[in-house]
Amino acid sequence: MCSQRFCETIDTVTGYESDIDEDVKGIATNNIFKRNEQKILCTICYDEDSKEFVRITSKCNHKDSVCHRCVNANIEASIQQCNTDITCIVSGCDKIMDYQDVKRLTTNETFKRFFFLKNIIKFVSNAQLKIYIPAFRWCEGCGSGQIHSGKDKNPQIICEKCFQISCYTHKIQWHYGQTCEEYDKSLRY
């Protein structure tokens, strides 16, 4: 302990332990000289029991501040949304995870799903994609894709990458000021 070393140093320098004033020993063992032992919290879940902080991408320049469990949850959620451009979840960092990052941080099963999805999206035509994943839509702004669970009941898709709003039903940028029904009527006239 730091304060114990302080007292031992004083004992060594002075040569006599018994004559050291008890107040000096009290100050040396006081919190003033103790190392600040604050617990580091995960910046996502704020769990103070998280001990395993990880570097999310090989390109990140920030301090490792997210626990392994939260990184895995982010990867899983992205894959479920058919998003293969998985970005770092640290606020202000927009680095995209590559194959090696995902492989390093997830289970083999999750990596296989990521790998399959990344490749199916590259090589499968839009017609085939509709058969395999009917709720999948491409963003009309940035070209990123995701699954939209709201379908026609809630047709506004907010892109998880660029935040642009598209229409699930019409597969276009959102028709502001019009519902889907109103937009359909405007096309007829």
pLDDT tens figures, 148-162: 887 778 899 888 878
pLDDT tens figures, 13-71: 444 444 444 544 444 444 443 333 456 778 888 877 666 788 888 888 888 888 888 88
pLDDT at 126: 64
Q: What tokens were used for 6?
A: 């302080």
What phi, psi does 86 have (nearest 5°)?
Answer: -85, 120
What phi, psi does 166 have (nearest 5°)?
Answer: -125, 165
The sign of the torsion formed by the CA atoms of 26, 29, 35, 37 equals: negative
Is the Cβ–Cβ distance between 75 and 106 less than 8 Å? yes
- Give me the percent of the chain exceeding a pLDDT of 70: 71
Whole-model pTM: value is 0.49
pLDDT at 20: 46
In which band, very low, low, confident or very high, does the pLDDT at 5 lie, cut at 50, 70 and 90? very low
Residue of 42 and 165 predicted with greater confidence? 165
CA distances from 150 to 67, 82, 95, 126, 131 (A): 31, 15, 28, 20, 18
Domains of the chain: 1-37 (no CATH), 38-123 (3.30.40), 125-189 (no CATH)
